[in-house]
Structure 1
Amino acid sequence: MSEKHPGPLVVEGKLSDAERLKRESNYLRGTIKEDLQDGLTGGFRGDNFLLIRFHGMYQQDDRDIRAERAEQKLEPRHAMMLRCRLPGGIITTEQWRAIDKFAEDKTIYGSIRLTNRQTFQFHGILKKNVKPAHEMLHEVGLDALATANDVNRNVLCTSNPVESELHQEAYEWAKKLSEHLLPRTRAYAEIWWDKEKVATTDEEPILGETYLPRKFKTTVVVPPQNDVDLHANDMNFIAIAKDGKLVGFNLLVGGGLSIEHGNKATYARTASEFGYIPLEHTLAVAEAVVTTQRDWGNRTDRKNAKTKYTLERVGVDVFKAEVERRAGITFEPIRPYEFTGRGDRIGWVKGIDDKWHLTLFIENGRILDYPGRPLKTGLMEIAKIHKGDFRLTANQNLIVAGVPASEKAAIEKIAKESGLMNAVKPQRENSMACVAFPTCPLAMAEAERFLPQFVTKVEEVLEKHNVPDEHIVTRVTGCPNGCGRALLAEIGLVGKAPGRYNLHIGGNRIGTRIPRMYRENITEPEILASIDELVGRWSKEREADEGFGDFTIRAGIIRPVLDPARDLWD
């Protein structure tokens, strides 16, 4: 292994202000507790605006009414988005009933939003209801600790209802990884659960007193499904099984999708293979990856602070060698693995445990009662009678898991009557968007509200070209920060301005290739015209079972992104 590296291990220079904020926060306490008593504003002041993110919240406002309130000389209608920590996405029906009631009684919008981080979030929590939200989660055994900002966030795990025993083992590791990498500070318990301050010095042996340079994302992946989009994440453990039992993991490091428009120093990147490890080394290796990124990550420029940039700067071999040194292990060669898809199996699937699993398609993950489609009520009714659990997927869907054959008919009846089992075409099942307007402060264009009608128009294009049952993995994100995972799609739309997007093509169905920008800053009619032309060619010229993204590469319509750090913007 080469010891040479193309850049310094540590970036010298003036630290970003986020580093000051963390250093002065008294281990994430700030003055959040005092700020909660300030009734003069609906938001949080000063550093607390950012510190609450470590506690799982973002301060937002309704952008649809921002201008109107400004004319009335009122501050924006501040409200918090709160994201739960739910490693592996498994939630009990008792917990579901509690979050349903909170959404109904104490949020502005009354909805539950399933995210592609395999958890749920509330939108529209007024300041007076923030502490009750954390208290409610605590009462049912949940929390929102470390679901945002410069920490290891919610750990994803493939939702594989068929390989039930293997899935259970993988899920247990997702929980262990989440717990092992959590902040040790008692700030969360003190502020939200009124736990007494312990008269000892706070320590953060893994994350450090100023935490990580930037957000950090971890997954546990069970092939052949890549439903967690591993290449969007910093650290990924690919399950390797022998005789149906988990024996170890392949480790891939350094994936990430966030970019900044026009900034060629930013780029999407797929994760690099480090090697195979037996199970007993999992936590030590995870800790070594995190602490290496903690010590070597760029703390002068947050736009270049994620693990993917550290790998490119110091070199994959150098980073890997440091992980081996810190963990006291040597990686074995990567074990064979293969991905065949990343979509959820919508409908009933029987697991090897003889239990049934019902995957419900939830468009955009938004659970709310709509006219003729009372989705939220329907799930609540299922939660009242289902004795198993719910599994949230990284595709924003929900699995009613572990259903005995005797309960199938009753659950299916509720699901159909509430619109949870409406037939949808493959194109809709394989399309996804981030939240964007009206609540996300970073949104440049619509995403969640744009997607349903856009998919209908794409379906019409597929019908026109005689491929109505085909699908193109399609993602829409309202800005370039990557939440909608558009830069792992076959067709990715990245918001540029209201009504305008950059169109990226050339990803693949299994999520292992970054798409390249095909057209910049175009409107929906222009996007659809391009899709119409390209689908027309795909329908006539494709090879057997050739996906749309693979076709655009083979046909020379777009060049594949082979080295994103150097050629993504060319």
Structure 2
Amino acid sequence: MSEVEPKKSKIEVLKEQSIGLRGSIVEELADPATDQVADGTTKLLKFHGTYQQDDRDLRKSRRKEGLGKAYSFMVRNRIPGGKITAAQILGELDIADELGNGTMRITTRQSIQLHGVVKGNLWDVIHRINEIKLSTKSACGDVTRNVCCCPAPLRHNGLRDQLQDLADKIAVHVQPTTKAYHEIWVKDPDTGEKEQVVGPPEEAEPDPIYGKTYLPRKFKIALALCDDNCIDIYDNDLGLLGVTEGDNLIGFNILAGGGMGTTPSKKQCFPALAKRLTFVETEHLLPIITAIILVQRDFGNRADRSQARMKYLINNLGVPAFRQKVEEYLPQAEAICGIAEGTVPRPLPEPHAADVSGHNDHMGWHEQGDGKWFLGLPIENGRVKDEGPLQLKACFRELFSGHISNARLTMQQNIILCDIEPDQRGQIETILAKHGVVRIEQISNARRFAFACPALPTCGLAVTESERALPGVIDEIEAELESLGLADEQFTIRMTGCPNGCARPYNADIGLVGRSVIGKTGEGRYTVFLGGNLLGNQMAEIYKDQVPRTELLATLRPTFIHFKENREPGESFGNFCHRVGVEALGQIAEAVAE
């Protein structure tokens, strides 16, 4: 009797039949009769770096006019380590102005998103991104997405340069082999025409890492150092935590199974921090990464996408069994990497004792260690635009048109201006002031360590406001902290418009997660999480659920007061909440209210 074929979700069948992610993308983009693409094509377009969305602010008015949704696309870049040149920044701004909604957004994974791209402009946007030597390939979809690492250009000991170099090598290694992206989005250099001159192949190109159906779900990789966890290493499917002895990088602790997304209505869904799996020397990094991806490829859940992330596979197997599977796949991984079988030591050792011990957002002025300086600039929620007195886009155009040669994007949606000569500092500060751009010294700590996902009006998953709501929430919180004498405290506040956790709220000191909307008023209700921390190695817990936006400060105020009166020396707000526990914090809040 033949074995019963495993159950597959519709997306799995779609990927398998797409001929290497080609599907009918070309035909649908060329169809002038509609401003949207079919649902199946939207799933394939994600692998090419773009999501179909609509402006939800316009839905009601358009319905009254008898019109359908106002469709457009979000286009996301893949920028390993957040490294970007001045020409690329200017190119992105030009594309946003000419073919998007005029804004550019720095993401929580060191990349750039452009919004408001209509279907007729989509090919030109992605093509022009490639012309400035960036790419959107595998920025989304069920593959390894943008590889992140510490962006600070600190060159005194070479450690971060090594991380950046490894991020580039990993990004190249884990790219899908399909030529579909080049065929669809890049012009033929000989004919000057759009690709597809010969037409798609009958079969997809062999892909030794991803196979025909790629991964069951998205996969995120990041690199960090123990004393500087600025990229939230424990939030990734695969965290590579550099272990050092003095100024020498001796290897990496491999952390596996992090992920922030969840579905509250499903008890089997949960956010998770990565588990400490093993330690490997630097030269064995690519084969261990490959083996872990292969295990997720072959054993991840392909029937239920809500259970498809690697955190669920590890939860179901347990760390010892998962480690054994990785060992079983090492020969295949070594072959893919072109090295002799047995090169990676077996059995895999236990992790090194080293763990995350510090956090630095790299904001403000810093010496690079090579005679030059860098300046970390806070960008509220990553949105680059000109609005009122803040002319951030115009400031970028002036800075990157001769003053700044390159930059780095951070996981906190900020930007680092690099390689600044000492005598340029005054000139840079003058340009910033002229455009109303604040430096880190001019904002509160509450705002400094806060960020939000885009949410409404473009994200189709959003339940509540996030990017547009958080600045007002911070206004209230920073005033309260100032009145309590807590303005100097450093802690994270992160807001999302839904439980999917794009802004990583579940390991923040304070996480505000969109839950529902109140009737006709449209006011958002949020789940308030407390107890994470800046280090990112501690999960927050639900403190209050279904809190109206207008009651967020009143909900948090008793915890701030209790923290001020009962903290231990040097204890952070999140660690205090974790020690006391959300149940006790709730009882205290009730007593205060009575």
Q: What is the match of residue 264 of structure 2?
A: 261
Q: What is the match of residue 568 of structure 1?
A: none
Query: Is 1:471 aligned with 2:490?
Result: yes
Distance 1:520 1:78 in 2: 33
Out of 212, 225, 230, which is 1:227 matched to?
Answer: 230
Distance 2:484 2:167 in 1: 43
- 1:329-344 aligned at under 5 Å gives the runs 329=344, 330=346, 331-344=348-361
Determine if contact 1:516/1:558 at 8 Å carries over to the other structure: no
Distance 1:556 1:392 in 2: 35
Out of 427, 445, 453, which is 2:472 matched to?
Answer: 453
Q: What is the match of residue 247 of structure 2?
A: 244
Out of 190, 195, 205, which is 1:202 matched to?
Answer: 205
Report the Cα offset of residue 242 of structure 1: 3.4
Out of 413, 417, 435, which is 1:396 matched to?
Answer: 413
Q: What is the match of residue 42 of structure 1?
A: 35
Number of residue pairs the alignment of both structures matches: 550
Q: Provide structure 1 residue ranges, at least 5 long, that are not aligned to the other structure.
A: 1-9, 561-570
Query: Is 1:166 aligned with 2:159?
Result: yes
Query: Is 1:276 aligned with 2:276?
Result: no
Determine if contact 1:28/1:51 at 8 Å carries over to the other structure: yes
- Equivalent position amino acid for 1:350 in 2: E
Distance 2:55 2:4 in 1: 38
Q: What is the match of residue 573 of structure 2?
A: 548
Determine if contact 1:11/1:296 at 8 Å carries over to the other structure: no
Out of 86, 94, 102, which is 1:101 matched to?
Answer: 94
SS of match in other structure, 1:104: helix
- 1:384-423 aligned at under 5 Å gives the runs 384-422=401-439, 423=442
- Equivalent position amino acid for 2:500 in 1: N
Report the Cα offset of residue 340 of structure 1: 4.1
Out of 291, 312, 324, which is 1:321 matched to?
Answer: 324
SS of match in other structure, 1:483: coil
Report the Cα offset of residue 12 of structure 1: 7.5
Report the Cα offset of residue 442 of structure 1: 0.4
Report the Cα offset of residue 343 of structure 1: 4.7
RMSD value over aligned CA atoms?
1.9
Query: Is 1:377 aligned with 2:380?
Result: no
Query: Is 1:535 aligned with 2:528?
Result: no
Distance 1:389 1:336 in 2: 36
Report the Cα offset of residue 321 of structure 1: 1.7
Determine if contact 2:82/2:409 at 8 Å carries over to the other structure: yes
Out of 99, 124, 141, which is 2:116 matched to?
Answer: 124
Distance 2:39 2:406 in 1: 41
Query: Is 1:187 aligned with 2:180?
Result: yes
Distance 1:455 1:66 in 2: 29
> Once the two structures are superposed, what CA deviation does each residue of 1:509-533 show, in whole Å capped at 9, x if it has no partner?
2111111111111112332112110
> Once the two structures are superposed, what CA deviation does each residue of 1:474-521 show, in whole Å capped at 9, x if it has no partner?
110100111011111111111011310011111122111111111111
Q: Provide structure 2 residue ranges, at least 5 long, that are not aligned to the other structure.
A: 187-193, 331-341, 518-523, 586-594
Query: Is 1:285 aligned with 2:285?
Result: no
Q: What is the match of residue 177 of structure 1?
A: 170
Query: Is 1:23 aligned with 2:16?
Result: yes
- Equivalent position amino acid for 1:273 in 2: R
- 1:77-96 aligned at under 5 Å gives the runs 77-96=70-89
Determine if contact 2:221/2:239 at 8 Å carries over to the other structure: yes
Q: What is the match of residue 566 of structure 1?
A: none
Determine if contact 2:35/2:118 at 8 Å carries over to the other structure: yes
> Once the two structures are superposed, what CA deviation does each residue of 1:288-338 show, in whole Å capped at 9, x if it has no partner?
110110000000100000000000112211111221232243333423434
Q: What is the match of residue 503 of structure 1?
A: 528
- Equivalent position amino acid for 2:515 in 1: K
Residues 396 and 533 from structure 1, CA distance in 2 versus in 1: closer, same or farther, beyond 3 angstroms? same
Determine if contact 1:93/1:386 at 8 Å carries over to the other structure: no
- Equivalent position amino acid for 2:547 in 1: I
SS of match in other structure, 2:18: coil
Distance 2:269 2:454 in 1: 23
SS of match in other structure, 1:171: helix
Q: What is the match of residue 588 of structure 2?
A: none
- Equivalent position amino acid for 1:453 in 2: G
If asked which structure has higher relative contact order (CA below 8 Å, sep 6+), I would say 1
Q: What is the match of residue 564 of structure 1?
A: none
Q: What is the match of residue 5 of structure 1?
A: none
Query: Is 1:440 aligned with 2:459?
Result: yes
Distance 1:444 1:79 in 2: 19
Distance 1:151 1:350 in 2: 37
SS of match in other structure, 1:394: coil
> Once the two structures are superposed, what CA deviation does each residue of 1:411-467 show, in whole Å capped at 9, x if it has no partner?
222122222234101110011100000110100010000000100111122122221
- Equivalent position amino acid for 1:334 in 2: P
> Once the two structures are superposed, what CA deviation does each residue of 1:373-414 show, in whole Å capped at 9, x if it has no partner?
110110111111135311000000000011121322222221
> Once the two structures are superposed, what CA deviation does each residue of 1:41-64 show, in whole Å capped at 9, x if it has no partner?
111124112111010000011100
Decide which moves more: 430-439 or 272-281: 272-281
Q: What is the match of residue 309 of structure 1?
A: 312
Determine if contact 1:356/1:402 at 8 Å carries over to the other structure: yes
Residues 46 and 505 from structure 1, CA distance in 2 versus in 1: closer, same or farther, beyond 3 angstroms? closer
Decide which moves more: 438-447 or 349-358: 349-358
Distance 1:38 1:264 in 2: 43
Distance 1:301 1:352 in 2: 49
Report the Cα offset of residue 163 of structure 1: 4.9
Distance 2:220 2:584 in 1: 29
> Once the two structures are superposed, what CA deviation does each residue of 1:63-87 show, in whole Å capped at 9, x if it has no partner?
0001111222222111100000101
Q: What is the match of residue 107 of structure 2?
A: 115
Report the Cα offset of residue 341 of structure 1: 4.0
